[in-house]
Amino acid sequence: MDPLIAGFLDHLSVERGLSANTLSSYRRDLLRYEAHLGTKRSSLRNASRKDVMDFLLRERDRGLSPVSVARELVAVRMLHRYLVSEGSVDKDVTEALESPKLWKRLPGYLTQEEVGRLLEAGGAGDGEELLRDRALLEVLYACGLRASEAATLTLEGLDLAQGSLRVRGKGSKERFVPIGSRARRALGSYLAEVRPRWAASATRAVFVGRRGQALSRIGVWKVLRRAARCAGITKNVYPHLLRHSFATHLLENGADLRVVQELLGHSDISTTQIYTHIEKNRLRSVHARFHPRA
């Protein structure tokens, strides 16, 4: 790895406090960028705007999703800005670059009926595993959690009496999220009947596996995929799809975008605005129903 990239990643870890998952993603993206520059007989110190564009187009052409290509652009842009601020290069070659609109796509989501089937199915395990899986799925949907947030949820973060969770999100930022009655009941049953028998004494994680250790992000993903198969849902179901569904259903039922932003833990409203198409559709529906000349 180029020492400039290593220094940038150290900067993100120490000074920006980015999570290990985010750092891992940026590291992979930037190593691909470095390899691309090598094929162009270029380097970070003399890269051009064309080098960056060629890299992004190559990534798109090899089948990377628009979201992934846009994320790579963010990583490359942050790197070049850092290099300028450190005096390693004179010019930020990404300054004039914008994410092409064709890279932006609306998030997929499950319908409310599909979510109902998913939560009802729960999974394919035995009684104890089914209680754990249903509790996990209910919490994911009720609170709009990321997989990593569910995996790192601790007993200290639960306040079932008040109906809220304390969640540690990206950048170790904490937020409080309300939890609905159905999720509270499912979580209460799991905590009373399953977790005491499964959990190792040292772990404080809410969701654990049979061996007593905290459920991993991959474990969360596997639970969701298993439940989707049992529910007969043919869509590609993954934890963030349930998070998108959480936000979409809130907006469909009249929630304010700023409230959804806070519940999701987005630091910038522009991140939440990917859901504004839902709000526009709702406004059109209201207009069509109630305007006398609609």
Please confirm, yes or no, whether 249 is among the known catalytic residues.
no
Domain shared by 209 and 119, yes or no: yes
CATH number at residue 177: 1.10.443.10
287 is catalytic: no
pLDDT band at residue 278 under the 50/70/90 scheme: low
Q: Which residue among 11, 81, 170, 282 is the active-site one?
A: 170
Q: Could you tell me the residue range of the domain that residue 17 belongs to?
A: 3-103
* Amino acid letter for position 147: A
Residues 132 and 275 occupy one common structural domain: yes
Q: What is the pTM of this model?
A: 0.65
Same domain, 172 and 218: yes
The mean per-residue pLDDT over the stretch 160-188 comes to 90
Catalytic residue among 134, 146, 184, 195: 146
* Active-site position among 49, 58, 60, 240: 240
Q: 55 and 73 in contact (C-beta within 8 Å)?
A: no
For the chain, the domain total comes to: 2
pLDDT value of position 17: 80
Which residues on neighbouring strands pair with residue 54, listed in sequence order?
Answer: none
Look up 117 and say whether it is catalytic: no
Residue percentage of the chain with pLDDT more than 70: 91
* Co-location of 47 and 156 in the same domain: no
Classify the phi-psi angles of 135: left when phi > 0, otherwise alpha if psi is within -120 to 50, otherwise beta: alpha
Question: Among this protein's residues, is 101 annotated catalytic?
Answer: no
CATH of the domain at 30: 1.10.150.130
Q: State the pLDDT at residue 190.
A: 95
**Is 116 in the same domain as 59?**
no
- Pair 57, 81 in one domain: yes
Give yes or no: residues 30 and 86 share one domain: yes
Q: Do 120 and 198 have their domain in common? A: yes
- 101: pLDDT strictly greater than 60: no
99 and 142 part of one domain: no
Of 103, 138, 171, which closes a domain? 103
Residue 34 counted as domain residue: yes
Domain membership flag for residue 291? no
Verify whether residue 166 is a known catalytic residue: no
Q: What is the Cα gyration radius of the chain?
A: 22
Give the model's confidence band at 266: pLDDT under 50 very low, under 70 low, under 90 confident, else very high. confident
18 with 27: CB under 8 angstroms? no
pLDDT confidence of residue 282? 62
Q: Is 266 a catalytic residue?
A: yes
User: Taking the alpha carbons of 229, 231, 232, 237 in that order, is the dihedral positive or negative?
Assistant: negative
Do 123 and 52 fall within a single domain? no
Mind listing the pLDDT tens digit for each residue in 117-161?
Answer: 999 987 666 789 999 999 999 999 999 999 999 999 999 999 998
Decide if 110 contacts 249 (C-beta within 8 A).
no
Set 71, 226, 243, 244: catalytic member: 243
The answer as to whether 290 is a domain residue is no
